[in-house]
Amino acid sequence: MSYSIAEAARRSGLSIDTLRYYERIKLLDPPARDAAGRRAYSDTDLTWLEFLTKLRLTGMPIRAMREYASLRHRGVASTGRRKAILVEQRTSVAARIAELQSCMDILDYKINNYSCLEAGMYPEDSQAQEVSA
């Protein structure tokens, strides 16, 4: 299947400008062109864009994404380095998840504390907690 840049943008959730930018910085291979010279994105292109979007959501720097994109053209010979990039990013994501879980635990505690206070129940440390937070 072939998609115009507008359709590829819609399907990927990225803007047309982002697609052009990714192409310019070599994150995305130049797509095929139709008879009129317009970009024609393939399903493979859209799958790659979905992966790039996930990498960005993990907070991966563009620099690392560019290295990964470059390495994938080298095939099996580059799998070790590509895996290392992903392992490094996974470690970073795991640390962020742990940090967010700690934040969630505090929110849950405070919400529960306020629910108890609203219900007329007073946890032992509720006044100390109210003063500190």
What confidence score (pLDDT) does residue 121 get? 85
CATH fold of 1-57, please? Multidrug-efflux Transporter Regulator; Chain: A; Domain 2 (1.10.1660)
Per-residue pLDDT reduced to its tens digit, 8-27? 999 999 999 999 999 999 99
What confidence score (pLDDT) does residue 23 get? 97
Q: CA dihedral defined by 58, 61, 63, 66, rounded to 10 degrees?
A: 20
CA distance 32 to 98: 42
Greatest Cα-to-Cα distance within the chain, rounded to the nearest angstrom: 75
Per-residue pLDDT reduced to its tens digit, 87-129? 999 999 999 999 999 999 999 999 999 999 999 887 665 555 5
Give just the sign of the alpha carbon dihedral 46, 73, 20, 14.
Answer: positive
Residues 10, 15, 20, CA angle at the centre, nearest 5°?
115
H/E stretch holding 13: none
Nearest to 11 by CA among 39, 43, 36: 43
